[in-house]
Amino acid sequence: MAYVHDTRHAAERWCVLRCSNTKTLELAASLADAGFDAWSPAETIQRRARRGTKPETLTVPLTPSFVFARADRVADLLDLAHSPALNYRVWDPELKRMVTRGHPYFRVFYYLGEIATVPDHQLEPLRSLERKRKPKPVTRTMAQGERIRLAEAGFEGLWGTVLTSRKNYTRVQVDGFLVPVDFPTWTLQGSCQAGSGKVNAEPAEPVSAQAA
């Protein structure tokens, strides 16, 4: 049986697991639950419900039957794939005890007699596609003069005042800053609010939150 011979960079590569189309995301989730670094790109779609008229929301795999797992644990994955029972033990925080769970059947993918592995950077197109397919969060525009506490990276804990707000970007005068900052509106949806106080001063030339 062929193994990954160069283990020095195994953590930077992913082995490919094959399973039933309908078990793709279940396998990725169960392996992650068991402590493996496993992933399969997914998207959320809406389709007509089997019963009723309202559409139902489903999470489906972008690469059906393919799951990727870090190659540094390929030996454990091979042992698991060939074990009679694909079970694992894990702590259940609700039951407050160890429980036994199972993985869907899978096999490690070989190519030309060797275990197929993929460099991490070659999975970036799939990660990018998954990000694009994620449903966009519902955003609301914010009221002028609204006081908010920021949670955006680099601005955590700071307070600011909303100057203008549109669907895509909201301009905020951050306390202590000479110029206002533009934030993607959806990143402010969970910001703590503290009433409003109208701001009528003409703002200076804004900067982007990414550039701040």
Summarised one tens digit per residue, pLDDT across range 148-181 is: 988 876 788 899 999 999 888 899 999 999 999 9
Contact 199, 160 (CB under 8 A): no
Q: Which of 128, 198, 154, 199 is nearest to 183 (CA)?
A: 154
For 190, phi then psi, to 5°, come to: -100, 10
Residues 125, 63 contacting (CB under 8 angstroms):
no
Q: Which two tokens stand for residue 68?
A: 């990727």
Give per-residue pLDDT as tens, 37-67.
Answer: 999 999 988 877 677 667 788 899 999 999 9
Can you give the pTM of this predicted structure?
0.62
Percent of the chain's residues with pLDDT above 70: 81
Q: How far is CA 52 from CA 22, 49, 58, in A?
A: 23, 6, 16
Query: What pLDDT, on the 0 to 100 scale, is given for residue 164?
Result: 93
pLDDT at 199: 40
Residue 31: Cβ-neighbour burial (10 angstroms; 0-12, 13-18, 19+):
buried
SS3 102: strand
| Cα–Cα distance measured from residue 122 to residue 110, given in angstroms and rounded to the nearest whole number | 18
CA–CA distance, 124 with 12 (Å, rounded to integer): 13
Question: How many residues are listed for the chain in this entry?
Answer: 212
d(CA 191, CA 170): 12
Q: What is the pLDDT of residues 109-121, one digit of tens each?
A: 999 999 999 999 9
Tokens found for residue 78:
């091979």
